[in-house]
Structures are given as C-alpha cells and as structure tokens.
Amino acid sequence: MEQNIFLDQKIWRWGPVKGWVITADFPCTGILVRMPKYTGYEWAAGTLLMNQGEMIWTQNWLPMVEASTRAFYGVMMSPEKRSEIAKSYDAVVGELRAYAKLVYRDGVSDLTDEVLIEQFASWREQVMDFWAWASPGECATFGGEEEIRLAVEANWSGREVAEIMEVLTAPIALSFFQDAELNLLERVLECENESQALQEHVTNFYWLDNGYYGSRRRTEIEAKKMLDSLLEDHGSLQEAIDSIRNYEQALFSRRAALKEKYKIDDDLMKKSLALGDAVSWQDARKAEQFVYTDVLMEFLKEFARRFNHEIEDLYWLRTNEVLENIKDPKAIKSLVDKRRPLCAMVASRDGVELWDGKRGQEFVRQFWDSNEEHGDMQGIVASFGKQSERVVTGLVRVVLDPHVIDHFIDGEVLVAPMTSPDYMPLMRRASAIITDEGGLTAHAAVVSRELGIPCIVGAKTASKQLTTGDRVILDLDNGQIRIDS
C-alpha cells in the first residue's frame, strides 16, 4: 500500500485523543474497507498516527472533502438512500446492544476458552459492520458544512455568516448526553425515592462515562453528581426537564426566525436539515461506541487474566492479531515491542496496514507535529453563548487529557486540542471553550451550543500558546483570541 499522506498537500488532522491500535482497528476497517462494499460510498484514504497512547487521524484535505460531499448529497440529501442505510445500521446496533446487556449482566469469565474466542470473533465482525453502516452520515458532515458555508458566504458577510452558520449547522435531535440527563431527571420525578431513580439510571446508562479508549462504568455517585449539577443550573426538576425537552422546539423556532430575518431560501434550509440529521447520527454513533467499548474491555481483561498477558500489551494489537496470538504471550510481546511507543495504521479501500518498527517510528515523527506557526490566535466562532456581550474574558485552564487533571474551577475557559465526550464533566463547568482543531460540526461546537456558552474551534495552536492561569479575551465578532496583558 502506498503512503497516502503527501507533504505538498493540505492535511486534515483529528486529534490528539487517547486511543490504541485495538480501538482504532474497528473504525479503520469498518469505514475504509467495508463501507464502500456495503453502501457504495468510499471514504478518503488516511493514516492514524499512534504515539504512546495518543492518536491523530490524518487525511489529505481535498480528497476527504470530495468524498464527504458525495456522501452528503448521495445519502443525507436522499431520503431513500438514507432510510436504506439507517435500516441496516439499526439492525446491527440492536444486535450489539443485546449482547452488551448480556455482558454487563453476566460478564465473560464463565465462558470456556473456545467459546470466549468464538464470541470475540463474532462480536468483532459485528462492530466492524457497525462502523460500515454508521459512517456514511458521519462522513457527510464535512462536505455538508462546506456546501452550506459556501452558500452563506456568497450572500452574507462578517458576523452575519457566523450567526447563520451557528444555527444551520446545529444537530436536529437531542444528544445522547442530553438523553441521559433527561432519563435521570424523569427517573427521579417518577420513582418513589432518589436511590431507586439513581439505580435505574445507572442500569440504562452504565456506559455513559466510557471513552474512546477505555471503560469506566457509571456509578450512583456519578449519577448523583449529574443530578446535583442539573438542579443547580435549573433550580428544580421540572425546570430542568422542560429545558431539555424544549431544545428541539427552540432550535426550530430559531431556524424559522433566522430564515425570515435573512430571507434564506428553501434549498439552503433543506441542506441545513440534512446536515443537522448527519450531526445527530454522528452523535448516536458515539453512544454506541461507548456501549461496545465496555464489551471490548471485558474481553481484553478476561484474555489478559486467562492467558497470562499484560492488558496494556493487548492494546497494541489489531483484533485479528488477538485472535491469532492470544494463547502465545511471546508472540504478542514481540509485536508490542515493535510498536511501542510509535506506530501508524495506514487505511484505504484496499485494506489496513500497520507500520511499526523503524518505518513506523520515522513516519509518526514526521507527521505528529502540525508545524503550525505560532502567531495570532484565530478560529471559527461555533457558539455565541447566551450572554449579550460580543467580547468575553476568563481565566484559562489548558486540558490535554480530561482524565488527568487535578481540578477545574467553575467558570474557567477550557482550552484543549479538541474535545470528545470524555470532556463533558469539564465542559459543563466552563464559561467558554477553545479548541485547536474542529469545525462547526465538531464535538466542542455541538456541545457548546447545548450548554449555551461561547466557543471558538479551529484555533490551531491555542493549547500551545495559552497557559493555565492566563486571562484570555475571546472576540466573538471575528474569532480572535488574545491574552489580556
């Protein structure tokens, strides 16, 4: 397979986030190899850089946007094709959810060696199929955002563009995190006592605190913290419930008002709905990924215990390598030694390769740093927040890993390379968010609108130029970020 990143082309980067070879094997195979076979939509070739438990997904920008635009028009703008793919997606999600419930209830420790390996092999295939069916809508977000931006910038300018884009790129359904919050509030309202409500919530959302690379099953303590935070924000159970339930109605009211104010034509509004649907589909995928991550970690813990492995070693394997070598610790050690700390997964329609040893190390070092020049910090205004001021200030808290942070003070400005659902507890306490990477359909952009706080994404080197404790100024007219000296 030829190298698919070239120095003379613009590179799009997603990350860094926590991740491992084994967690990346599912989407790399499912999206790049299986999605074209199943759906007819091909994703642009890319390379996943792995560096000591962190990963960055990289692609050439132009082929990625071209592939995304085809998916946007071919899937999200086609009710028939979207329904056809969604039907297969729902089927595989149903199978994975049913198996996850069994694993959550019974575990896998009572299975014989043969059955344990057979079930992992079967489940692995389902997860890769899940990515094949889940991804046409998600892949469509980049192209959809570009198409809408081009139309908006052709007719409006300045702050008008940001105001219109903030609404037209918003998801059209509640996020899975909002669903979880609503579930908790309704359980408390309906149950005889709070303890019962917390237990029922945990049973339904035991996977909510998982991440892209590991599992941490939700407890009643986390559920109680969520409840207390919601009550603090809204004042009462009913007010909190009404606020979440009214999200979709409020969004469509904003859409109608925006259409009237700027005389937006029906074609652009239709594209906006299709993009909002794609962003919501992407969010639903994240929830299912958290569910299956719980199952994956149960398998890996049992494999490590039963066959005398260090569980961290299994993180450096592709799923087929687990199946082929699980009874051979020496073979696994040999593979891991070549990959730690640096390796790369190169993926295209033709297959997935893992580059390790000297070749992989040199390649990762070449592309790991973005080589962005430090200078003026400016990004895209993804959310204006609820305040009326166009300029907001706050003290910075730079967070590179949401699981390794001593404390976060309510009202600080969260600065990160990018955010993921792992950042949610911190995002709820932030007064504003700044990320190096991402566009208007990125996680930080979507969540900041839900929370009603200012957000600037795509600020390139903000997490490197800003330091915890800096007082920062966010200009919401133009996306500029300055240190208040």
Q: Residue 79: CB partners within 8 Å, gap ≥ 6? A: none
Please list, in sequence order, all residues whose beta carbon lies within 8 angstroms of the beta carbon of residue 374, skipping any fewer than 6 positions away.
461, 464, 465
Q: Residue 57: what are its φ and ψ, rounded to 5°?
A: -90, 130
| Residues 389, 360 share a domain | no
Q: Which of 261, 283, 303 is the last residue of a domain?
A: 261
How many domains is the chain built from? 3
By the 8 A CB rule, do 4 and 46 touch? yes
d(CA 216, CA 213): 10
Q: Classify strands 11-18 and 54-60 as parallel, antiparallel or unpaired.
A: antiparallel
- Burial class, 282, CB count within 10 angstroms (exposed 0-12 / middle 13-18 / buried 19+): buried
Within this chain, do residues 360 and 407 fall inside the same structural domain, yes or no? Answer: no
Assigned domain for 51 exists: yes
Predicted pLDDT of residue 6: 59
The pLDDT of 66-95, averaged and rounded, is: 97
The answer to whether residues 359 and 401 belong to one domain is no
Is position 3 within any domain?
no
Q: Are 245 and 183 in contact (CB under 8 A)?
A: no
pLDDT per residue over 348-370, tens digit each?
999 999 999 999 999 999 888 87
Same-domain check for residues 28 and 166: yes
Q: What is the dihedral of CA 108, 114, 117, 118, to 10 degrees?
A: -100
Q: pLDDT at position 386, please?
A: 87
Q: What are phi and psi of 4, to 5 degrees?
A: -110, 15
Mean pLDDT value across the chain: 93
- The domain boundary residue, chosen from 212, 234, 261: 261
53: left (phi over 0), alpha (psi -120 to 50) or beta: left
The pLDDT, as a whole number, for residue 8 is 63
Distance of alpha carbon 160 from alpha carbon 208, whole angstroms: 37
Which of 51-55, 269-273, 274-278 shows the lowest mean pLDDT across its residues?
51-55
What count of residues does the chain have?
A: 485
147 and 39: one domain? yes
Percentage of the chain modeled with pLDDT above 90: 80
Q: What is the pLDDT of residue 371?
A: 65
For residues 211 and 306, state if they share a domain: no
In order of 31, 142, 234, the CA distances from 73 in angstroms are 18, 12, 40
Same domain assignment for residues 144 and 218: no
Among 48, 108, 23, residue whose Cα is nearest residue 317: 23
- Residue 353 in 3-state DSSP? strand
- Kindly state the DSSP code that residue 461 receives in the 8-state scheme: S
| Token pair for 483 | 């240190």
Round to whole Å and give the CA distance between 87 and 473: 47
What pLDDT, in 10s, does the model give residues 203-249? 999 999 887 778 889 999 999 999 998 998 889 999 999 999 998 89
The C-alpha atoms of residue 154 and residue 54 are separated, in whole angstroms, by: 39
Single-letter amino acid code for the residue at 262: Y
225 in a structural domain: yes
In a domain, 372, yes or no: no
Q: What is the mean pLDDT of residues 394-422?
A: 89
Q: Are residues 115 and 187 in the same domain?
A: no
Same-domain status, 103 and 226: no
DSSP 405-438: -S---TT-EEEES---GGGHHHHTT-SEEEESS-
- Pair (356, 421) in one structural domain: no
Residue 8 has a CB neighbour count (10 Å cut-off) of 5
- Looking at residue 384, its amino acid is F
* 1 domain-assigned: no
pLDDT single digits (tens) 101-153: 999 999 999 999 999 999 999 999 999 999 999 999 999 999 999 999 999 99
Examine the domain organization and report whether 236 and 121 are in the same domain: no
Tens digit of each residue's pLDDT (9 = 90 or more) over 163-195: 999 999 999 999 999 999 999 999 999 998 999
Dist. CA 242–CA 152, nearest whole Å: 33
In sequence order, what are the beta bridge partners of 46?
59, 347
Residue 393: give the domain boundaries: 377-483
Q: Which two tokens stand for residue 293?
A: 């991550």
Helix, coil or strand: residue 66 = helix
Q: Is 6 among the domain residues?
A: no
Does residue 2 lie within any of the structural domains?
A: no
Tell me how far CA of residue 155 lies from CA of 164, 167, 194, 264, in angstroms: 11, 16, 53, 9
Map tokens 């998600």 to a residue. 138
DSSP 3-state of 345: strand
Confidence class for position 294, pLDDT limits 50, 70, 90: very high
* Residue 321, domain member (yes or no): yes
Given 333, 367, 401, which residue is the final one in a domain?
367
Summarised one tens digit per residue, pLDDT across range 297-317 is 999 999 999 999 999 999 999
**Same domain, yes or no: 321 and 382:** no
